[in-house]
Amino acid sequence: MKQFSVPMAIVDYIPVILFALAACLIAGDLKKRINPVCLTVFAVGSVMVTAAGFLKATYKLLYALKIGDFIWMSNQFFANQASGFLLAGAALVIGVVNMKKTFAFLPTMALVGMMVIGVGALDAGLCFLASQMKKRNALICFIVSFFLSMTMGYLSSKDFDGALMNWLAQGINILGEGLLYAGVRILHNAGLK
């Protein structure tokens, strides 16, 4: 039996909101710096990640409120989040580093690889910008956020029916997305535009 509570479900929205805020800042700040195709792919990937997280949090909330067990809202999460991170991360790296290669989609077994590549590319692009702007604090935020995201990727493959695992994962996820947002905010405040 799943042990989702209403407070846990509400807390699950926090990293979703933090990621969405960070993605909006990145897109707004870089709209004149990277080509429109990369910006569009970044936006699509970011929307996929945000929607996946929003649906998963909503699933937990509906379950906790005993409205229903809409399992598809949970099952869609990993594939959509991994694909979204891959799109957003690849687009950012290609856009800011001017790489000429794109990443190809792989079968189901590669979802973890897609997540690592996507989050890694996203954070690598942001680390590149932080390094260019000489913003060490932002660089540290992005590096720590990457490792926390990798921890979340590992935890995503585990049993999330128990309350302890959910609270642990949410704490890690909030910290990771919070650091992503903090790093993006540092770059934004330093004049990323």
* Count: domains in the chain: 1
CA 68 to each of CA 61, 62, 65, 73: distance values in angstroms, whole numbers, following the listed order: 9, 6, 8, 11
CA 69 to each of CA 3, 9, 158, 165, 176: distance values in angstroms, whole numbers, following the listed order: 12, 14, 19, 19, 28
CA 21 to each of CA 74, 75, 76, 160, 183: distance values in angstroms, whole numbers, following the listed order: 23, 25, 22, 26, 12
Give CA–CA dist 5/152, Å, rounded.
Answer: 20
Q: Which residue has the higher pLDDT, 111 or 90?
A: 90
Instruction: Tell whether 63 is covered by a domain.
Output: yes
List all residues 6 or more positions away from 129 whose beta carbon is below 8 Å from its beta carbon.
96, 187, 192
Q: Single out the residue of 178, 184, 106, 107 nearest to residue 149, CA to CA.
A: 178
pLDDT tens profile 124-170: 889 999 999 999 999 999 999 999 988 887 776 666 677 887 788 88
Give CA–CA dist 80/97, Å, rounded.
Answer: 25
Q: Which residue has the higher pLDDT, 101 or 25?
A: 25
Instruction: Tell whether 34 is covered by a domain.
Output: yes
pLDDT tens profile 1-17: 688 889 998 999 999 99
Instruction: Tell whether 180 is covered by a domain.
Output: yes
Q: What is the average pLDDT score of the chain?
A: 85
Give CA–CA dist 70/56, Å, rounded.
Answer: 10
Give CA–CA dist 136/62, Å, rounded.
Answer: 41
Instruction: Tell whether 124 is covered by a domain.
Output: yes
Helix axes 163-189, 13-30, angle to 10 degrees: 20
Instruction: Tell whether 93 is covered by a domain.
Output: yes
* Number of Cα atoms under 13 Å in the Cβ half of residue 185: 11
Instruction: Tell whether 1 is covered by a domain.
Output: no
Instruction: Tell whether 160 is covered by a domain.
Output: yes
Classify 99 as helix, strand or coil.
Answer: coil
Q: Is the pLDDT of residue 30 over 90?
A: no
Specify the pTM. 0.65
Least confident window among 39-53, 83-97, 118-132, 137-151: 83-97
Instruction: Tell whether 50 is covered by a domain.
Output: yes
Place of tokens 């490792």: 147
Domain extent, residue 109, equals 6-189
